[in-house]
Amino acid sequence: MIYDFLNDLTGSPFIAGTITALLPLFAFILPFALFAVLLERKVAGHMQDRLGPMRVGYHGILQTVADIIKLIQKEDIIARNNDKLLFNIAPVLTFAGSYAAFAAIPFSSVFLGANIDLGIFYIIAVTGLVVAGILMAGWASNNKYSLLGAMRSAAQIISYEIPTILVVLSVVMLTGTMSLYDLSESQSSYFWNWYLLGGPEFEIQKFLLIPFMLIGFLIIYISTLAEVNRTPFDIPEAESELVSGYHTEYSGMKFAMFFLAEYANMFAVSAILVALFLGGYQSPFGYLGNLLNINWLIPLEQFFWFTFKGIFFVFVQMWLRWTLPRLRVDQLMAASWKYLIPIAFFNLLIIGIISIL
Amino acid sequence: MSVRTEEMVLNMGPQHPSTHGVLRLELTLDGEIITKVVPHIGYLHRCFEKHCEVMSYPQVIPYTDRMDYLAAMGNELGYVIGVEKLLRIQVPERVEYIRVIMAELQRIASHLVAIGTYGADIGAFTPFLYCFRDRERILNLFEITCGARLLYNYIWVGGLSHDLHPDFVRLTKEFIKEFKPNLRELNNLLTYNKIFIDRTANVGILPLETAINFGVTGPMLRASGLKWDLRKDDTYSVYNKFDFDIPIGEGKMGTVGDSWDRYYVRVLEMEESLKIIEQAIETLPDGDVTSAIPKKIKPPVGHVYSRVENPRGELGYFIISDGSTSPFRVKVRAPSFVNLQIMDELCRGHLVADVIAILGSVDIVLGEVDR
């Protein structure tokens, strides 16, 4: 989308590609991470009967900026027995994985890095890189806690990818497209067209689908929670057991990379949920732009709705984090293999049967 | 080619967020399964017992504060009762009542830290801060009474350092009124949380037989199903005048004596402590709290063993007097020290994550383990 536009404008695929690649980082991920870290601390604070950061700026709004300045100043510590090459690659790889996912996320009908036909498939594949980064970090740190954390993380992310994919598959099967743009476009304008509520086609099947779509949504929500290592599945970085898991040994900007990747990932998985089940960038109540006949307003509204829905799910993730305790590693595996995967399979089967009715 | 596996030795602590101080656990792991736990203690050793030999009897009291620093009132009470037995003096009724109120408030404060940090160990951070919010109010009560929030030097031989603040009774009543709904909220948030139960029920089961053999006391012993509480079974001060129950572990969510039981016994004990405080405040006698303090403390030759039910178990002082102004010997039986020995027994066969859950439920204070 943006790439095509810029390509026409500048006539150079290289410039167009560079700008398209940098746009989500500067226009979205960094501001979002700044906002999300502050949001997390404020949510935590208010849930715990305290105020959260209050000193830097009005009600602490500049706290994250101050934190980042602090992190940039910090010494980049590499211990003597670390595997230096892997130790340096790991945070970059982790961040690249979650960053690359943003290329295919449709923020609005015009703000979409690349309209890939295999959009959802691409995102799932590319976020798989994160596992490699985490494993590298754990191994290269030469720290037993980090290694345990990385091992747990790899096991966890891989086992929870299966239910995620199964649910994604059921939606893909229903719609016949893997492009997130097409998926979002098909759920146009009103909330009863969302796939969470059975999809846009107004037939008897729609009503049969609703309960199974809800089940599917719950499964994918739980498993994406595990994929981004959030409570109750934050076992890899369980601070009370493994200190900080795989990023214990990291300091300064490398630590910030892991941190940024975590928050970028939180939004990326929420974006997948939104695009698949909640109408993507479509407004639930129609557009103000249509009403007032202002065409340029519509993409802005779409951007607003997409980020609103995405941040809402990020908020729910935070809410859960400050409410629930943490599962144990074997219980976590049991939850995926014994419950989520079988249920997801049956759900897939039933949705398949309903869709051919 | 045959595949060789070997056990990994993992050092947990002394700088680890969940060892509740400077405890070092040497874990031997087979994968993530524990095969052996060796606790290494002594990082906080301050020669308490040796210090006592060169100090006068009242000078020991501030040092007892620093043993179990989460339950300083209880420590003072145990020591003071011992010295009073040596001196054979009677203290006024009001003093005894205030001592009981303080000890029970301290028990609630201590249990709040225990269950709060236990929640944090399991991964629920919010209950931890709720607990500290309530504990803060108790500390404020102590502050208006004696000026200190953690280490009080309040209970003296034969009396107390200060009488109660005029506002104390009103503020305590307010605290009790507001604390009861908070306790219910805590139960809803943490105690009956499915994940919390999954993490703690049937983990680290301590059979009664083993508990008695290891000399385990306090909430740990009661969680294993024995109704043994020194406040009732070897009553001291004025505890026989109050009506309260002794909660024991019932295996409500799993087996009797599991970590959840140990946690829940503490929750129930807080309610019982509230009952005691309410009764004591209602019937608080008048009088002078400093009248019975002896001018010169010089007990006759002899020895005494005094014990009190501290939040963590039986705290015993064996005091030998040689007739001078300082004790010849003060030996402390610290409940945390005794309870900590059970770690290896409880942890074997569990996962690394369970070590945290078990250690949290044993609830140790390193100041007392190392003294």
Asked if B169 has any chain A CB less than 8 Å from its own CB, the reply is: no
Residues of chain B below pLDDT 50: none
**What pLDDT score does A25 carry?**
67
**What pLDDT score does A239 carry?**
61
The ipTM assigned to this model is 0.76
Does A174 map to a domain? yes
Judging contacts by C-beta atoms under 8 Å, the chain A residues touching residue B356 are 240-241
Decide if B352 and A241 are in contact by the 8 Å CB cutoff: yes
Concatenating the DSSP letter of every residue in A128-155 gives: THHHHHHHHHHHHTT-HHHHHHHHHHHH
Does A2 map to a domain? no
Min CA distance, A45 vs chain B (Å)? 9
% of chain A surpassing 70 pLDDT = 93
Question: Please, what sign has the CA dihedral across residues B266, B272, B277, B278?
Answer: positive
**What pLDDT score does A202 carry?**
66
Q: Which of B8, B16, B193 is facing A325, going by the closest CB pair?
A: B193
% of chain A surpassing 90 pLDDT = 0
Helix (H), strand (E) counts: chain A: 16, 0
> Integer distance in angstroms from the first to the last C-alpha of chain B?
53
Min CA distance, B204 vs chain A (Å)? 14
Confidence of residue A2 (pLDDT cuts 50, 70, 90): low
**What pLDDT score does A131 carry?**
85
Instruction: List the single best residue of A241, A243, A327 to mutate versus B (max B Cβ within 10 A).
Output: A241
Average pLDDT on A23-40 reads 79
Mean pLDDT score of chain A: 81
**What pLDDT score does A214 carry?**
86
Decide if B199 and A331 are in contact by the 8 Å CB cutoff: yes
Whole-number Cα distances in Å, B333 to A229, B63, B100, B218: 44, 15, 21, 13
Confidence of residue A169 (pLDDT cuts 50, 70, 90): confident
Min CA distance, B87 vs chain A (Å)? 48
**What pLDDT score does B22 carry?**
82
Alpha helices in A189-280 (DSSP H): 204-227, 239-242, 252-277
- Tens digits of residue pLDDT in A136-147: 888 888 887 888
**What pLDDT score does B341 carry?**
86
Does B158 map to a domain? yes
Instruction: List the single best residue of B122, B194, B350, B358 to mutate versus A (max A Cβ within 10 A).
Output: B122
Listed ranges A226-230, A239-243, A327-331, B279-283; the one with the highest mean pLDDT:
B279-283
Residues 6+ apart with CB under 8 A from B238: B93, B96, B97, B100
- In this structure, are residues A181 and A106 in contact, taking their beta carbons and an 8 Å threshold? yes
Confidence of residue A264 (pLDDT cuts 50, 70, 90): confident
Question: Which of A294 and B56 is assigned the larger pLDDT?
Answer: B56
Q: Which of B126, B193, B195 is facing A48, going by the closest CB pair?
A: B126
Q: Which of A49, A239, A325 is facing B133, going by the closest CB pair?
A: A49
Closest A-chain CA to B358: A241
Element of type H or E holding B149: none
Average pLDDT on A324-329 reads 82
> How many structural domains does chain A have?
1
**What pLDDT score does B227 carry?**
87
Average pLDDT on A174-199 reads 77
Does B53 map to a domain? yes
Asked if B188 has any chain A CB less than 8 Å from its own CB, the reply is: no
Taking Cα atoms as reference points, which of B199, B236, B204 lies closest to residue B220?
B204
Average pLDDT on A341-354 reads 88
User: What's the CA gap between A316 and B153, in Å, rounded?
Assistant: 47
Concatenating the DSSP letter of every residue in B180-223 gives: HHHHHHHIIIIIT-HHHHHHHTTSS---HHHHHHTT--THHHHH
**Does the structure show a pLDDT above 70 at A337?**
yes
Does B16 map to a domain? no
- Tens digits of residue pLDDT in A64-82: 888 888 888 888 888 788 8
Closest B-chain CA to A44: B126
Average pLDDT on A16-30 reads 73
Concatenating the DSSP letter of every residue in B249-318 gives: ---SSSSTTSHHHHHHHHHHHHHHHHHHHHHHHHTPPP--SSTT--SS--PPSEEEEEEEEETTEEEEEE
Asked if B33 has any chain A CB less than 8 Å from its own CB, the reply is: no
Closest A-chain CA to B124: A325
Average pLDDT on A206-228 reads 84
Q: Which domain holds residue A285?
A: 78-356
- Tens digits of residue pLDDT in A93-124: 888 888 888 878 887 777 676 677 788 888 88
**What pLDDT score does A86 carry?**
85
Does A110 map to a domain? yes
Which residues, in sequence order, are bridge partners of residue B9?
B28
Does B37 map to a domain? no
Amino acid letter at B128? F
**Which pTM does this prediction carry?**
0.83
Decide if A328 and B196 are in contact by the 8 Å CB cutoff: no
Does A282 map to a domain? yes
Q: Which domain holds residue B177?
A: 47-342
Q: Which of B120, B129, B189 is facing A240, going by the closest CB pair?
A: B120
Instruction: List the single best residue of A43, A143, A152, A240 to mutate versus B (max B Cβ within 10 A).
Output: A240
Instruction: List the single best residue of B135, B195, B259 to mutate versus A (max A Cβ within 10 A).
Output: B195
> How many structural domains does chain B have?
1
- The CA-based diameter of chain A, rounded to the nearest angstrom, is 66
Does B332 map to a domain? yes
CA atoms within 13 A on the CB side of A199: 21
The CATH number of the domain holding residue B308 is: 1.10.645.10
**What pLDDT score does B194 carry?**
84
Judging contacts by C-beta atoms under 8 Å, the chain A residues touching residue B352 are 148, 241
Interface of B with A in 341-360 (CB under 8 A): 351-356
- What number of C-beta contacts closer than 8 Å exist between A and B? 75
